[in-house]
């Protein structure tokens, strides 16, 4: 494990730069400032597109924030998770976890295993039959949701919790969108996905399957029948490679390839498979191709594109004859610049896929039968983001199938006005469509990205829909999006909310019951950096990793077992303990122990809640800054007492 060079001192040998004078005003151990408690958002939440209160549910997992009443901590954590994202089991498995990349714990040794804890809680919720509470009051308003993928399902969840009626219009025979058709089933187990979808539908969501808007029902009819429309159509049409010959029948999109596999139609391949691109879709295509293997076909109907394009299906007998497939990933940039997560890239290499980078596709070479027989590429060099082609060094890579995974677009047949010319839809910062009033949009239809991104879009769009239905002005969005921890809500949950203000004159609020004393919430505007933490407080503790099956090229064929084994309860708790609670007190007692004036004291046990563990007696405080210097989480800010 890398030595980060941390010590138990905030200041290191050789430090000579003082802090800004307006922040550091200590003279002979005293100043005119005293501690106040500033709640800032942690970088994990700032990095999460769906806006999880990650620190909040990790605090519940580790026992800092206890559930009210007799409910299990797992239920309390599940409820906190689902305020932002109703798919914890699925997200814990497949989300590439930008939250972990942003985790300040990376400055100590390695990030907190956020995904693993999320999966544990999500699986516990499914195993114990947890459901969502139906809204206590119906608004009488109805919203048409076009598309039953992650954005549409999330929109239904958020809107139903607001009391609005929802109807999902889905053109395929089942809900799930890219979670079903775009991600291999061994990564998103169908029983898990079905359980998380069922919870949302059971909130009272009407579902119309096999119903395509623009064909089976018009947009104009929806506008008459509903008070607002949310577009979550995704981008399920793969973009063609922009080179000559790419219209050959055996040049297909990554989206079409994965759909054919997930529907059980595609069971084997013929010849070398070239996957063009190096994003997450490309990784899934390569992984699936290695698993379903290669068969020497004699029938033209058995060519993989015939299956992918829906003309036929593979039979079991042909699948039984398959052998390991020859799979190449062709990428025009250095593979170190690939947008795919490093873990997925490492996995397909271990499973036997070959990586050929810094090769730019030039042309698809056709055979006498009109099918692609090779991909012509040219080596390129990159410097400063600029690509230089090595002229005259083109060569052909023989292949039986070319799968393009370089872009996606939507199908706008029947509602062409919403196409922005790039096969996608436009939206403003409130996720309103500029085409028509009352139309909102989210997910891949705006820009293909992560499942968690689509869910974040849906949450903001639903807040905007709610305002639109109430006739309210759209308010400015906060700098930090998401379901932010609320101290007032925490106090209410534990029956500790402030009393009503009786309008009596007071001087100061330190003894008043109608105010939250000595606390300021900046979480909507500020993310706390690691420089504000006392990192020397934290011991080196390795991550409690989920079990992972190490699949190699020898055993990848027909291996559709789930890759990860979830954490056990104690491991999930121990992993949550590694969270540094950035921007929020985690009750370490440092400020109480090190205060030389005994000015900082613990709040009485019957008055404590997460974020209200310590308080300050200003008659004793001399503003020495020691409490701030020893605060590991950066919760203490010197500001009061002037």
Rounded to the nearest 5°, which phi and psi values hold at 29? 80, 5
- Residue pair 253/403 in contact by the 8 Å Cβ criterion: yes
Give the residue with greater pLDDT, 181 vs 84. 84
Indicate the pLDDT class of residue 241, thresholds 50, 70 and 90: confident
Instruction: Give the Cα separation of 561 and 566 in Å (integer).
Output: 13
Residue ranges of alpha helices (H) inside 128-182 are 150-161, 178-181
The pLDDT of residue 310 is: 60
- Average pLDDT of span 397-424: 92
Name the DSSP letter for residue 472: P
Name the DSSP letter for residue 527: B
Exposure string for 325-346, b = 16+ CB within 10 A, e = fewer = bbbbbbbbbeeeebebbeebbe
pLDDT one-digit tens code per residue, 610-637: 988 999 988 899 999 999 999 999 999 9
The pLDDT of residue 406 is: 87
Q: Quick check: 536 pLDDT over 50?
A: yes
pLDDT one-digit tens code per residue, 325-384: 899 999 999 999 999 988 899 999 999 999 999 999 999 999 999 999 999 999 999 998
Q: What is the mean pLDDT of the chain?
A: 89
Cα diameter, the chain: 92
Topology match between the domains 142-236+410-470 and 239-407: yes
The pLDDT of residue 321 is: 47
The pLDDT of residue 392 is: 93
pLDDT one-digit tens code per residue, 55-93: 999 999 999 999 988 899 999 999 999 999 999 999 999
Domain 239-407 is of which CATH architecture? 3-Layer(bba) Sandwich (3.50)
Please enumerate in sequence order all residues whose Cβ is within 8 A of that of 513, keeping only pairs 6 or more positions apart, or say none.
498, 499
Q: What percent of the chain is modeled with pLDDT above 90?
A: 68
pLDDT one-digit tens code per residue, 258-304: 999 998 888 788 889 999 999 989 999 999 999 988 766 555 555 66
Q: How many CB atoms are located within 10 Å of the residue 8 CB?
A: 9
77: nearest Cα among 28, 36, 128: 128
Pairing of strands 395-398, 372-383: antiparallel
The pLDDT of residue 631 is: 95
- Residue spans per domain, the chain: 34-129+484-640, 142-236+410-470, 239-407
The pLDDT of residue 317 is: 44
Domain 142-236+410-470 is of which CATH architecture? 3-Layer(bba) Sandwich (3.50)
The pLDDT of residue 601 is: 94
């Amino acid at each position: 494990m890398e030595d980060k060079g941390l010590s138990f001192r905030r200041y290191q040998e050789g430090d000579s730069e003082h802090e800004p004078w307006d922040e550091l005003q200590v003279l002979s151990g005293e100043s005119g400032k005293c501690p106040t408690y500033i709640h800032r958002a942690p970088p994990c939440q700032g990095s999460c597109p769906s806006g999880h209160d990650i620190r909040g549910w990790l605090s519940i997992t580790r026992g800092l924030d206890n559930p009210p009443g007799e409910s299990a901590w797992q239920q309390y954590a599940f409820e906190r998770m689902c305020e932002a994202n109703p798919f914890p089991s699925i997200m814990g498995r497949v989300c590439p976890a930008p939250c972990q990349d942003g985790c300040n714990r990376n400055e100590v040794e390695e990030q907190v295993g956020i995904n693993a804890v999320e999966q544990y809680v999500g699986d516990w919720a499914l195993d114990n039959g947890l459901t969502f509470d139906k809204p206590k009051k119906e608004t009488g308003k109805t919203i048409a949701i076009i598309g039953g993928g992650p954005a549409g399902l999330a929109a239904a969840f958020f809107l139903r919790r607001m009391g609005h009626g929802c109807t999902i219009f889905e053109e395929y025979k089942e809900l799930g969108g890219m979670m079903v058709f775009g991600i291999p089933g061994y990564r998103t187990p169908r029983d898990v996905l079905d359980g998380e979808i069922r919870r949302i539908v059971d909130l009272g969501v009407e579902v119309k399957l096999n119903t395509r808007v623009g064909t089976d029902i018009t947009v104009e009819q929806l506008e008459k029948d509903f008070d607002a429309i949310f577009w979550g159509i995704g981008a399920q049409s793969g973009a063609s490679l922009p080179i000559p010959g790419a219209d050959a029948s055996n040049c297909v999109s990554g989206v079409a390839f994965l759909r054919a596999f997930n529907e059980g139609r595609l069971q084997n391949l013929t010849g070398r498979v070239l996957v063009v691109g190096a994003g997450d879709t490309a990784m899934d295509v390569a992984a699936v191709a290695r698993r379903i293997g290669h068969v020497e076909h004699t029938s033209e109907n058995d060519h993989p594109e015939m299956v992918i394009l829906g003309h036929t299906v593979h039979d079991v007998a042909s699948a039984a004859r398959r052998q390991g497939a020859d799979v190449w990933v062709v990428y025009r940039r250095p593979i170190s610049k690939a947008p795919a997560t490093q873990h997925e890239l490492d996995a397909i290499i271990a499973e036997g896929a070959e990586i050929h980078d810094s090769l730019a596709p030039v042309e698809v070479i056709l055979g006498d039968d009109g099918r692609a027989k090779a991909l012509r590429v040219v080596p390129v060099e990159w410097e400063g983001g600029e690509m230089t082609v090595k002229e005259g060094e083109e060569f052909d890579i023989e292949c039986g199938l070319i799968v393009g995974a370089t872009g996606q677009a939507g199908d706008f047949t029947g509602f062409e006005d919403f196409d922005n010319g790039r096969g996608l839809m436009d939206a403003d910062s409130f996720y309103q469509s500029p085409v028509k009033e009352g139309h909102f949009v989210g997910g891949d239809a705006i820009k293909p990205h992560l499942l968690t991104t689509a869910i974040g879009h849906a949450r903001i769009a639903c807040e905007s829909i709610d305002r639109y239905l109430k006739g309210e002005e759209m308010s400015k969005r906060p700098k930090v999006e998401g379901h932010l921890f609320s101290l007032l809500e925490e106090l209410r949950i534990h029956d500790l909310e402030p009393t009503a203000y009786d309008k009596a004159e007071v001087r100061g609020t330190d003894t008043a019951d109608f105010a939250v004393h000595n606390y300021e919430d900046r979480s909507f505007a500020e993310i706390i950096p690691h420089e504000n933490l006392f990192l020397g407080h934290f011991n080196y503790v390795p991550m409690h990793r989920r079990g992972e099956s190490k699949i190699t090229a020898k055993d990848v064929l027909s291996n559709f077992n789930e890759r990860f084994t979830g954490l056990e309860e104690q491991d999930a708790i121990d992993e949550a303990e590694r969270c540094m609670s950035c921007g929020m007190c985690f009750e370490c007692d440092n400020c109480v122990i090190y205060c030389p004036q005994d000015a900082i004291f613990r709040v009485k046990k019957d008055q404590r809640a997460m974020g209200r563990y310590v308080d300050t007696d200003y008659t004793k405080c001399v503003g020495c800054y020691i409490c701030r210097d020893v605060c590991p989480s950066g919760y203490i800010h010197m500001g009061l007492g002037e």
